[in-house]
Structure 1
């Protein structure tokens, strides 16, 4: 397998690296704000014209990263891609059912992947590659054959990916856990395993380590400067009692390949699910979707404690136009929820934002004859192409522009100490579906004293200490995250300032207060 020099050069031009201070990302030596969209099924369910439609739209909206999985979650081993190709040659070509030989990738399938990656690069988008969905390693949310539950297969395919697609970001894991049941099916609606005759917790860490080792080995021939591939771990939002919470750094605390720390804050409104079938296991824990600020804070603090100083990102927050817990009888996450989670994460120190829509990640097409809607509880009632212009996609673009336009991008730090009034920073009770993101007043500032900012999600007034700014004259504005417009708040004096937002109320009254030294 030989990649063209043009292919390699195009990938290298879009490479993402960690800034020397450890908290930020750069590309081409310039600040890189991670504005990603989840398009997991792009290689499996779209044709060339649809790929162009999707990527052109996301590029216009400012997205610079999309997620795609090579061995698809839904139908990956029961449906070929739109070109009629399987990701791997079959073990038995004469068998009625497809069973992949995971040591023999199918060149024709990956020629379409090449097309997607190259077209994405032509419009300024990097494809973050998930080699295989996590259920092919460990059966988490629904049972899939464990084609990749062994080190040899993971190492071989990781190396194949690294050789073929160097300089792109890689997502290890795939909505999965390092520690899970022995051969159990987890029913996400019931919150309990449906088949666990001999409950045993398995550590699948060696398999995920092998994927990473393979990627590193595969890219080695392309890297002449001693740099390492960009690899993170995309966990699920749930975890078993007596196992680490699903932060990438908690699951893989000693792994040198872990470029950034990551979580999936997920889509759940429940902190805990009912006790599992086997009483010895206890209650399954879930991240609360609207507590992303706490999860980002923990990653940021972990990086400080262990001295790695990695960038931190929520790789999968709640999806817009998607029912809570994927249950159709419940409300849907709104654009205001997207804004609140994204701004809170950024003010807590995140290096970017990941967006998603339920219909889009699965490339749901209600009219498709070859790839109909997935028979799963996450199935969407909308077509993917009808939901590309949901307001949340614009709002995350506003966040990107706002942060990139701040002076001294690389000296931004989270700092709640500049707030000297109630910030509503309190534990969230089990029955509070709003979570902390919808209440917390949070602050960030330039460590060199050039500016500070405060985010108030529902327009509460607050008091802020501006004495950290270096200047006798300070200028303040209110920024509207919905309209991308600023309203002058006039000059303020150094010291304690009471700030009253232009409006207040639930959902669509969030504001950013920005004060800069003149």
Structure 2
């Protein structure tokens, strides 16, 4: 367990995140919005341990939480603010936050920390109340930074499922960012918008926005690559994170009948579409875990499992495989490639995607539905290469058999697969999973 967590920074090409020593950082996030609000420290340790065991690297959570976070006390019976006033923090509540932050470091986890959920400055929906002005937002951000700037394992996330609807909303965010940056010079800052929006669409000209983030809708086959591609086209260049995809076990499009829930296959499709289109990381989510649902809470969006049981849903387990595959490769040197496919990659099908190094010595293909994969590679590359199928369900590696060819037939047509092609030099270095 790595407890020597350095502040994250932007890599040299501007597209990815690294540790201070330049080693790649794989953002594998989990959505735990109600963690600080609803869990005791003992339960937080249980949750953190589960996520460490599953390979997660960063946890996204909120200080002033969405679900009546200002009026319903936390697990210790404490409210975050006195008199609903951001200038009057309740020390008991923030002492608990101190312990959560320290525990995350102890367990080797980064925290993507939202100062507030969006309904506290724009109550378009939710419970609110709206308590922020540009003036107290700046002071609140400054107070948080003064208290927590000493920690190297934090990323600040502004917004909270909202976009500004007027000049005051924009000013609240800008001032909160300035308050944080005045006293925390090292931690990265990003913005969490609502569904189908990219942070740089709103704050693309703001110097404080260092990492671009978008939210998928809770929808099957959302085509996350379109949003990654759009973000990658923006200037200045920023790393892109899918910060809230569709949650496992949530009803498709949040339908009120609670049918056609998103399952592990939807999670994998979203994750690999995001990563193979060039994202710097991916955040998983579970319907019951984000709200920390238990017998004592009102279920939202058809939640029916306890958060403890939902921790072990198949999609959560399979995120570790995603990380292991990427970390076994020079993934931050690889670029999305459409040219290696022969034939037509039909837009109305479940799109296959590929990453490749510039010299094609390392190629990773994701095939959403099992079938033949037809490539257009130089025969000299194929003759020198080793090829493997990786099962994204369980991580099993199967060596591809047969003569060098541009046609690869998946082992099983009824599921998704990863195809890895390595030159002899890359094959000698490949360690999967990386030790």
What TM-score does the superposition give when structure 2 sets the normalisation length? 0.91
CA offset at residue 448 of structure 1? 3.9
Equivalences for 1:431-442 in 2 at 5 Å?
439-442=350-353
What's 1:187 paired with? none
8 A Cα contact 1:476 1:491, kept in partner: no
What's 1:295 paired with? 227
Provide the C-alpha distance between the structure 2 equivalents of 1:471 and 1:390, rounded to a whole number of angstroms: 38
What's 2:278 paired with? 349
8 A Cα contact 2:70 2:81, kept in partner: no
CA offset at residue 311 of structure 1? 1.0
What's 2:159 paired with? 173
Q: Does 1:516 pair with 2:427?
A: no
CA offset at residue 459 of structure 1? 1.2
Q: Would the alpha carbon gap of residues 492 and 311 (structure 1) be closer, same or farther in structure 2, given more than 3 Å must change?
A: farther
Provide the C-alpha distance between the structure 1 equivalents of 2:229 and 2:315, rounded to a whole number of angstroms: 23
Provide the C-alpha distance between the structure 1 equivalents of 2:369 and 2:362, rounded to a whole number of angstroms: 22
Provide the C-alpha distance between the structure 2 equivalents of 1:324 and 1:259, rounded to a whole number of angstroms: 32
Equivalences for 1:85-484 in 2 at 5 Å?
85-90=78-83, 100-148=84-132, 150-166=133-149, 167=152, 168-179=154-165, 204-220=169-185, 228-237=186-195, 246-268=197-219, 290-302=222-234, 306=235, 308-329=236-257, 330-366=259-295, 368=296, 372-373=297-298, 377-378=300-301, 380-406=303-329, 408-426=330-348, 439-467=350-378, 473-484=384-395
8 A Cα contact 1:473 1:492, kept in partner: no
Provide the C-alpha distance between the structure 2 equivalents of 1:262 and 1:469, rounded to a whole number of angstroms: 40
Provide the C-alpha distance between the structure 1 equivalents of 2:19 and 2:60, rounded to a whole number of angstroms: 18
What's 1:276 paired with? none
Q: Would the alpha carbon gap of residues 409 and 442 (structure 1) be closer, same or farther in structure 2, given more than 3 Å must change?
A: closer
CA offset at residue 478 of structure 1? 1.1
Q: Would the alpha carbon gap of residues 203 and 447 (structure 1) be closer, same or farther in structure 2, given more than 3 Å must change?
A: farther
Q: Does 1:78 pair with 2:71?
A: yes
Provide the C-alpha distance between the structure 1 equivalents of 2:273 and 2:100, rounded to a whole number of angstroms: 32
The alignment of Structure 1 onto Structure 2 pairs a total of residues equal to 417
What's 1:17 paired with? 9
Provide the C-alpha distance between the structure 1 equivalents of 2:130 and 2:409, rounded to a whole number of angstroms: 56
Provide the C-alpha distance between the structure 1 equivalents of 2:388 and 2:282, rounded to a whole number of angstroms: 24
Q: Which whole-Å deviations, capped at 9, do the CAs of 1:325-348 have from their partners, x for residues lacking one?
A: 333412110100000110111110
Q: Which whole-Å deviations, capped at 9, do the CAs of 1:462-490 have from their partners, x for residues lacking one?
A: 21122398685111111110110111114
Aligned alpha-carbon RMSD (Å): 2.0
Q: Would the alpha carbon gap of residues 297 and 492 (structure 1) be closer, same or farther in structure 2, given more than 3 Å must change?
A: farther
Q: Which whole-Å deviations, capped at 9, do the CAs of 1:20-47 have from their partners, x for residues lacking one?
A: 1111111242211101001111111111
8 A Cα contact 1:359 1:383, kept in partner: yes
CA offset at residue 106 of structure 1? 1.5
Larger radius of gyration: 1
Q: Would the alpha carbon gap of residues 60 and 78 (structure 1) be closer, same or farther in structure 2, given more than 3 Å must change?
A: same
Q: Would the alpha carbon gap of residues 132 and 382 (structure 1) be closer, same or farther in structure 2, given more than 3 Å must change?
A: same
8 A Cα contact 1:249 1:299, kept in partner: yes
CA offset at residue 380 of structure 1? 1.9
8 A Cα contact 1:449 1:469, kept in partner: no
8 A Cα contact 1:117 1:127, kept in partner: yes
Q: Would the alpha carbon gap of residues 514 and 469 (structure 1) be closer, same or farther in structure 2, given more than 3 Å must change?
A: farther
Provide the C-alpha distance between the structure 2 equivalents of 1:492 and 1:309, rounded to a whole number of angstroms: 42
8 A Cα contact 2:366 2:419, kept in partner: yes
Q: Which runs of 4+ in 1 moved over 3 A?
A: 468-472, 490-493
Provide the C-alpha distance between the structure 1 equivalents of 2:142 and 2:42, rounded to a whole number of angstroms: 30
Whichever structure has more strand as a proportion of its residues is 1
SS at structure 1 position matched to 2:322: helix
Provide the C-alpha distance between the structure 2 equivalents of 1:211 and 1:118, rounded to a whole number of angstroms: 23
CA offset at residue 124 of structure 1? 0.8
Q: Provide structure 1 residue ranges, at least 5 long, that are not aligned to the other structure.
A: 1-9, 91-99, 180-200, 221-227, 239-245, 270-288, 427-435
8 A Cα contact 1:445 1:452, kept in partner: yes
Provide the C-alpha distance between the structure 1 equivalents of 2:306 and 2:72, rounded to a whole number of angstroms: 19
Q: Provide structure 2 residue ranges, at least 5 long, that are not aligned to the other structure.
A: 425-435
